């Protein structure tokens, strides 16, 4: 899952990056409203954390531009404690949730998971995948209550495919959402990753549509 953090306070941005990466997310960061708007307009993110007090273009204007352009990434806005009117304006402009500063990063991570889950149509952090259960809160995949050991990238792949139910996902899209932009990877890294997961989970859990990409077999809400 790929997250954009748009926050000009470097201490807050670094704290959010560390917490989100520890929770299994790939994080990109911007400190300027213009740059944040451009990336949100031209790239795909599973969720965006947007500070309303950004320089160049304020966060509320950035959000309004995205929604006018029908950019549908879930957005969590960050606001100051006393600015209740900003929170109302943000929700009215199309934000999915908000967090008031100062905050605990654990709350932000939980709210990011929730807006991603809701945008995919899941009501619970436990996602049923045939005879498998993906617990996005615990970052754990299990079968019949028995945990399955996964690497960080294997977990990211199964979690991303689970949130894209009823859709075939291309290798290019998977690569974009599993790896940071500056991460070096081989051209066949997704094929290798899928192969490892199939050996652990069973060959029929991930379906290949040749020339198009991958989807999960047995996705159930």
Residues 191-212, mean pLDDT to the nearest whole number: 86
pLDDT of residue 221: 40
Q: CA angle 162-191-132, nearest 5°?
A: 30
Which band of pLDDT confidence, cut at 50, 70 and 90, is reported for residue 186?
low
Domain with CATH 3.40.50.2300 in the chain: 2-119
Residues 71-82, mean pLDDT to the nearest whole number: 88
Q: Could you tell me which CATH class the domain 2-119 is placed in?
A: alpha beta
pLDDT digits (tens, 9 = 90+) for 81-92: 667 788 889 899
> How far apart are alpha carbons 169 and 159 in whole angstroms?
13
pLDDT of residue 209: 84
Q: CA angle 210-175-9, nearest 5°?
A: 155
Count of CA atoms in the C-beta half-sphere (13 A) of 212: 8
- Look at residue 75 and tell me whether its pLDDT is greater than 50: yes
Looking only at the bridges linking them, the beta strands covering 140-143 and 132-135 are antiparallel
Would you call 167 helix, strand, or coil by DSSP?
coil
- Look at residue 106 and tell me whether its pLDDT is greater than 60: yes
pLDDT of residue 218: 56
pLDDT digits (tens, 9 = 90+) for 36-71: 999 999 999 999 999 999 999 999 999 999 999 999
> How far apart are alpha carbons 101 and 52 in whole angstroms?
11
For domain 126-220, the CATH architecture is Orthogonal Bundle (1.10)
- 152 or 48: which leads in pLDDT: 48
pTM of the model: 0.85
- Residue whose tokens read 């299994």: 24
Residues 187-194, mean pLDDT to the nearest whole number: 84
Domain with CATH 1.10.10.10 in the chain: 126-220
> How far apart are alpha carbons 102 and 12 in whole angstroms?
10
How many of the other CB atoms lie within 10 Å of CB of 111? 19
């Amino acid at each position: 899952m790929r997250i954009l953090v748009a926050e000009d306070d470097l201490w807050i941005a670094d704290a959010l990056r560390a917490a989100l990466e520890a929770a299994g997310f790939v994080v990109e960061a911007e400190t300027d409203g213009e740059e944040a708007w451009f990336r949100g307009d031209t790239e795909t993110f599973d969720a965006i954390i947007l500070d309303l007090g950004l320089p160049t273009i304020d966060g509320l204007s950035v959000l309004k531009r995205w929604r006018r352009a029908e950019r549908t990434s879930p957005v969590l806005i960050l606001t100051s404690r006393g600015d209740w009117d900003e929170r109302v304006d943000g929700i009215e402009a199309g934000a999915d949730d908000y967090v008031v500063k100062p905050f605990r990063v654990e709350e932000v991570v939980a709210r990011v998971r929730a807006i991603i889950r809701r945008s995919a149509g899941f009501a619970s952090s436990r996602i049923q995948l045939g005879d498998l259960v993906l617990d996005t809160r615990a970052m754990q995949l299990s079968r019949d209550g028995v945990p399955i050991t996964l690497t960080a990238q294997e977990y990211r792949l199964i979690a991303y495919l689970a949130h894209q139910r009823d859709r075939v996902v291309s290798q290019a899209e998977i690569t974009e959402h599993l790896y940071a932009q500056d991460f070096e990877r081989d051209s066949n890294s997704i094929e290798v990753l899928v192969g490892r997961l199939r050996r652990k989970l069973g060959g029929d859990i991930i379906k290949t549509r040749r020339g198009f990409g991958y989807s999960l077999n047995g996705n159930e809400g």
